Amino acid sequence: MLGMGLRPCKGADGCVCSVVNEVNTEPKSRKQMPKTSYSKPEVGSTGKTGSWRVFDPVIDYDECSRCRTCWMFCPEACIDLDEDDTPHIDLDYCKGCGICAEECPKKCISMVRKGSKKEEQD
Amino acid sequence: MHLDGTQGIQEGGTGLKTELMSANYAAAHATVSARVEVVAAYPITPATTVPEEVALLSEEGIYKGEFIRVESEHSAMFACIGASSTGARAFTATSSQGLLLMHEALHWASAARLPIVLANVNRSVSPSWNIHVTHDDSYSQRDTGWIQFYISSVDEYYHTIIQAFKLAEDERVLMPVMVNADGFVLSHTVSPFDYLEPEEVDRFLPPYKPPHWVMDPDNPVAHGNIVFPEYYQEFRYAMHEGSLNAYKVYAEVERDYKRLFGKYFGGPIDCYKCEDADVLFVSLGTIGAEAKDAIDQLRDEGYKVGNARLRMFRPFPVVRARELAKKAKAFACFDRGLSYGFGGPAAGDLRSSLYATKYRPMIKSYIGGFGGRDVTITDIKEVILDTYKSLESGNLGPEETWHDLME
Amino acid sequence: MVTAKEMPQREYVLKGNASCAGCQDMVALRHALKALEGDVIQVVPACCTSVVQSLWPKECLDVPVLNTAFMAAAATASGVKAALKVKGRDSTQVMVWAGDGGTFDIGIQALSGAFERRTDILYVCYNNQVYSNTGTQRSGATPLYAQTSTTWHGKTEPEKLFDLIVAAHEPVYQATANAAYPRDLYDKFRKARDIRGPKFIHIFVPCPQAWNYPVEKGVEIGKLAVETGYWILWERVGDKFELSPTSKRYQDPAKRKPIEEFLEMQGRFSRLFKPTRDEKRLAEFRVFVQHRWDVTLKTLA
């Protein structure tokens, strides 16, 4: 069968998602395939979806009030929170929808076009 | 024979209690014997009395599983799929339109490798309404991957259903099983049969443990999300493998069943007086039981004929068919259903089984018994003698003959 | 109402899945599963959620998920529940997560049957008002004059008042929710979690693909739906009806934002504004909004 190990995700501290496959290989022969098509939960099941993005979210941490709004509305669940609720956007997976920037009450998230001058400055 | 039981008289049989009831009621009682955990069924004549009896047994605490009084046959099979996916032994019963309505679900159950057992009571498909036996309903499900049995007695129905769970749940198989019984001719015919208490069946059938995946919050998996072209074909191959494996696994199942309970119904092809026969009569269901009398009568008249009652239809018992074809000179193959636009399914499958071999017995296909039209011993003798005539003249004549068709 | 600070952090919807950027279905599902603490078997008929799970052998939901055929969700869930009962694991929630197609149209029979049998399941319809997964064709939930790929000039019938159909089955719990109000949604799932019997939650979920709006406006559009009075947030425990706090003020038509604010943002309603404003149709739309209020309050309150 697929050789799978269960171990905590390599995400931010405090994240308690329990099931991630480190060794979930794509089978190369029928012997490596199970008889039936069941799948296991995994972060990045469609790959590094951050590659879809055209605009990067950039948080101004001086203005950020740690209110959790961006975290609450993120459709991708790719914002991790520190102990003090400081948000960190996982750019490996963020698809750049811009909802966090739109909903932030302090308007302290900007969507910066990839490869733009502003990005170079940061 | 009393309902409170007399010991079964089969040799080697233990724990058998003779009961008297219709095939449908016996099927319902099989759910108790086999410790079925979830039954989801919808009424349709002539299968109706199966869920009726399960309902009664459930409300009286004899059937200890859950009984879902679903609102359609499509929902019945999907409820079984949901239950089986969650690790429960599941069962349903239907006929004709109901079986057709759950066609999508039949494909689903076999592709999900769920060992569900379905008691199908063969009935004509409509329009127009005809509630009597034709095999079109189950014939037209041949390609779904479901293992198919056709049985010819109340006793055989009851025991084959129990065997079906063992067969389906075997890890080498893991394919659902359909056990077909002729509508009214068998479903509503009251006959003695030998009943087994669940404690007896426990010696044969352990609790169902899904070997690969199950819906369990302690071990979350998703079943059925997208499989791309890279892998889909391999899963379908595995299904085919599972279904083909049923042939040899069923031999083990029957061997164990005979050893434990002294019951044996003839293997994938129940042969009667076949060893030295020139002409073999092939059929499914109750016609195959009637045929034994026709064989005896013809033997008395000097014809070397035998009865090859096809019990297992999918997987098609190719190995056994080839063994019979080695010696028999001709097959009179009677189909009580049709693949419209081509011909009788059993005849067609038999011919295909032999093509890759050097055996070339004469195979004549007969179509008849539709819509509950009786196929009597006289009819069967006529059919066999018709084949005999062709065999003797060396002239095949028509490949397909409709028996008793109005001019 | 639960505060953002109180909401648990554990995620059951894992990032890096196949959903579109800005998918509001995922927002709703994230908070639903948090409220249920993952002790759930999720039954998913054919819909967007089937596809966002990604490709075998990987998937993105950290709960057991049983994908099933389009019309079969509630029937499959009935079977799952029966099995759990037999196994003595009856406390695990069985949750159907179905789109509007699999609920209003092809799935209605199974839902009706399951509810009539008083099956202890939580049926969730996330409603993006279209058959989104197959490419945005109209459904019974598509609103009047909305453009879809099978109603290019706008649908000529209003959406089904599905909540009335469900209410006729007298579920033990019934509510409407909205992905733009996750705290309200979370609370409703928490409440549903503790009630036994047939439960129904109907979630309004904007879809950037089907509705044709700038993807970052997903939450704003969800909020406008409520602020214009178009979508009513309410809850019914048994036959005790209660308007949710957010919707209470919009019972008064004078307090509602003009419906144009909601419609103008969406490309699917562009024919109501271009090449000219269709005042007649806008008026009909306003009538529908009030009609839904009237019927809802009269029948359910």
- Identify the CA nearest to C94 among candidates B86, B328, A113, B350: B86
Query: Which positions ≥6 away from B188 have C-beta within 8 Å?
Result: B22, B23, B24, B46, B49
Which residues of chain C make contact with A74, given a CB cutoff of 8 A?
Answer: 27
Tell me how crowded residue B14 is: count the other CB atoms within 10 A of its CB. Answer: 13
Question: Measured between CB atoms, which of A19, A27, A30 is closest to B220?
Answer: A19
Closest-CA distance of chain C to residue A94, Å = 8
Which residues of chain A make contact with B218, given a CB cutoff of 8 A?
Answer: none
Average pLDDT value for chain B: 95
* C220 touches A at CB < 8 Å: yes
CB environment B70-102: b (16+ within 10 A), e (fewer): bbbbbbbbbbbbbbbbbbbbbbbbbbbbbbbbb
Q: Is the peptide bond before B315 cis (omega within 30 degrees of 0)?
A: yes
Structure tokens that stand for B332 in this block? 């009179």
Q: Is the pLDDT of residue A31 over 90?
A: no
Closest-CA distance of chain C to residue B89, Å = 8
Q: Which of residues 5-34 of A touch C (CB under 8 A)?
A: 14-19, 21, 24, 26-27
Question: Measured between CB atoms, which of B212, B234, B237 is closest to A38?
Answer: B212
Q: Which helix (H) or strand (E) segment is B373 a member of?
A: none
Tell me if B231 and A30 make a contact (CB, 8 A cut-off): no
CA B306 from centre of chain: 21
* A92 touches C at CB < 8 Å: yes
Closest-CA distance of chain A to residue B131, Å = 38
Task: State the Cα–Cα distance between residues C109 and B87, nearest whole angstrom.
Answer: 26
Task: Give the residue numbers in C contacting B (CB under 8 Å), as ranges.
Answer: 38-41, 43, 50-51, 53-56, 59, 61-69, 71-72, 74-87, 92, 109-110, 112-113, 116-117
Which residues of chain B make contact with C81, given a CB cutoff of 8 A?
Answer: 82
Beta carbons of B37 and B83 less than 8 angstroms apart: yes
Question: Measured between CB atoms, which of A30, A33, A41 is closest to B220?
Answer: A41
Burial of A6 (0-12, 13-18, 19+ CB in 10 A): exposed
* A46 touches C at CB < 8 Å: yes
Beta carbons of A87 and A80 less than 8 angstroms apart: yes
**What is the structure's pLDDT at A118?**
58
Q: pLDDT confidence of A6, banded at 50, 70, 90?
A: very low
Task: State the Cα–Cα distance between residues B83 and B236, nearest whole angstrom.
Answer: 23
- Identify the CA nearest to C4 among candidates C179, C126, C184: C184
**What is the structure's pLDDT at A117?**
62
Q: Residue range B20-41: average pLDDT?
A: 98
Tell me if C4 and A67 make a contact (CB, 8 A cut-off): yes
**What is the structure's pLDDT at A115?**
81
Task: State the Cα–Cα distance between residues C295 and C301, nearest whole angstrom.
Answer: 10
Tell me if A39 and B222 make a contact (CB, 8 A cut-off): yes
Which residues of chain B make contact with C63, given a CB cutoff of 8 A?
Answer: 217, 220
Beta strand pairing call for B90-94 and B38-40: parallel
| Phi, psi of A57, deg, nearest 5 | -80, 135
Q: Which of residues 192-221 of B touch C (CB under 8 A)?
A: 215-217, 219-221
**What is the structure's pLDDT at A9?**
43
* A67 touches C at CB < 8 Å: yes
Give the number of A-B residue pairs with CB atoms closer than 8 Å.
45
Q: Is the pLDDT of residue A4 over 60?
A: no
Question: Measured between CB atoms, which of A35, A39, A41 is closest to B238?
Answer: A35
Q: Residue range B294-303: average pLDDT?
A: 98
Q: Is the pLDDT of residue B2 over 80?
A: no
Q: Is the pLDDT of residue B334 over 50?
A: yes
Query: Which positions ≥6 away from C294 have C-beta within 8 Å?
Result: none
Tell me if C117 and B74 make a contact (CB, 8 A cut-off): no
Closest-CA distance of chain B to residue C239, Å = 25
Tell me if C80 and B231 make a contact (CB, 8 A cut-off): no
* A19 touches B at CB < 8 Å: yes
Closest-CA distance of chain A to residue C54, Å = 6
Q: How does pLDDT run along chain C (301 residues), one tens digit per residue?
A: 999 999 999 999 999 999 999 999 999 999 999 999 999 999 999 999 999 999 999 999 999 999 999 999 999 999 999 999 999 999 999 999 999 999 999 999 999 999 999 999 999 999 999 999 999 999 999 999 999 999 999 999 999 999 999 999 999 999 999 999 999 999 999 999 999 999 999 999 999 999 999 999 999 999 999 999 999 999 999 999 999 999 999 999 999 999 999 999 999 999 999 999 999 999 999 999 999 999 999 999 9
Which residues of chain C make contact with B73, given a CB cutoff of 8 A?
Answer: none
Q: Residue range B354-364: average pLDDT?
A: 98
Q: Which of residues 45-84 of C touch A (CB under 8 A)?
A: 53-63
Q: Residue range B147-167: average pLDDT?
A: 98
Q: Which helix (H) or strand (E) segment is B19 a member of?
A: strand B16-22
Q: Is the pLDDT of residue A21 over 70?
A: no
Which chains are adjacent to chain B, needing at least 3 Cβ pairs under 8 Å? A, C
Question: Measured between CB atoms, which of A19, A35, A38 is closest to B174?
Answer: A35
pTM score, whole prediction = 0.94
For B301-362, give the secondary structure using H, E and C.
CCCCEEEEEECEEECCCHHHHHHHHHHCCEEEEEECCCECCCECHHHHHHHHHHHCCCCCCE
ipTM passes above 0.90: yes
Closest-CA distance of chain B to residue A33, Å = 8
Q: pLDDT confidence of A30, banded at 50, 70, 90?
A: confident
Beta carbons of B391 and B304 less than 8 angstroms apart: no
The beta strands (E) that lie in chain C are given as 40-44, 58-59, 65-67, 93-99, 122-127, 173-178, 199-204, 234-237, 240-243
* C18 touches A at CB < 8 Å: yes
Beta pairing partners, B5: none
Tell me if B223 and A19 make a contact (CB, 8 A cut-off): no
* A28 touches B at CB < 8 Å: no
Q: Which of residues 33-62 of A touch B (CB under 8 A)?
A: 33-41
Tell me if B237 and A19 make a contact (CB, 8 A cut-off): no
> Considering only alpha carbons, which residue of chain C is nearest residue B103?
C69
Say whether C144 sits in a helix, a strand or coil: coil
Q: Is the pLDDT of residue A14 over 80?
A: no
Q: Which residue has the higher pLDDT, B4 or B189?
A: B189
**What is the structure's pLDDT at A22?**
35
Beta carbons of A41 and A19 less than 8 angstroms apart: yes
Q: pLDDT confidence of B14, banded at 50, 70, 90?
A: low
Per-residue pLDDT tens for C15-46? 999 999 999 999 999 999 999 999 999 999 99
